[in-house]
Amino acid sequence: MKEKTVDGIRFQAAPFSAIEALRLKSFLLKKFGPSIGQVLGLLKDGLPTGGNIGDINIDGSALSGAIEKLMEQLGEDEYVALIRRLFRNVTAHITRDGQPLQFSFVDHAFETSMNAVLAGRLFSVYPVMLLVLEANFPDFFGRMAQGIGSKIRETFTSGAETPNSPSEPEL
């Protein structure tokens, strides 16, 4: 189980079954493969110590822009269906009026939980999506960051270092 606090809300994401994780990975790669480079560009400095993508502090506008580019591949119903699918094993812990509350995003409670937890905080969906992906595909993100490190570095340095900048660390 992975956990992260986003916008003052503690989210926990449990892994999917192996079969659902395989299906989801296939769907995501087919649907978003061509535009995933922009999201990977956010990892240009590599993963933080421990290698958890959910722990990366990414500039909000950069993350929003990258994920919105990916989401352009989906119609609104497909987008909501993907969020429903990704959030299936997510629990949110909030405090309202001094009372701790817990919301689950399982199918029968999805709309109620989304409205209760994320109304007015829709940007928080994106870091929770990354948390879900890290909970389900930690090996994928670790290998992906290692395997594309030189390509990302080339992209962001244009193959040349400036005289006053230190070389970037290996990924």
The domain tally of the chain equals 1
Q: Could you tell me if residue 88 is inside a domain?
A: yes
Residues of the chain with pLDDT under 70: 34-71, 140-171
Q: Could you tell me if residue 87 is inside a domain?
A: yes
What's residue 31's pLDDT?
80
Q: Could you tell me if residue 170 is inside a domain?
A: no
What's residue 85's pLDDT?
95
Q: Could you tell me if residue 167 is inside a domain?
A: no
- What is the domain extent for residue 82? 2-157
Strand, helix or coil for residue 88:
helix
What's residue 126's pLDDT?
85
What's residue 102's pLDDT?
98
Strands (E), the chain: 2-6, 9-13, 90-96, 99-104
What's residue 164's pLDDT?
44
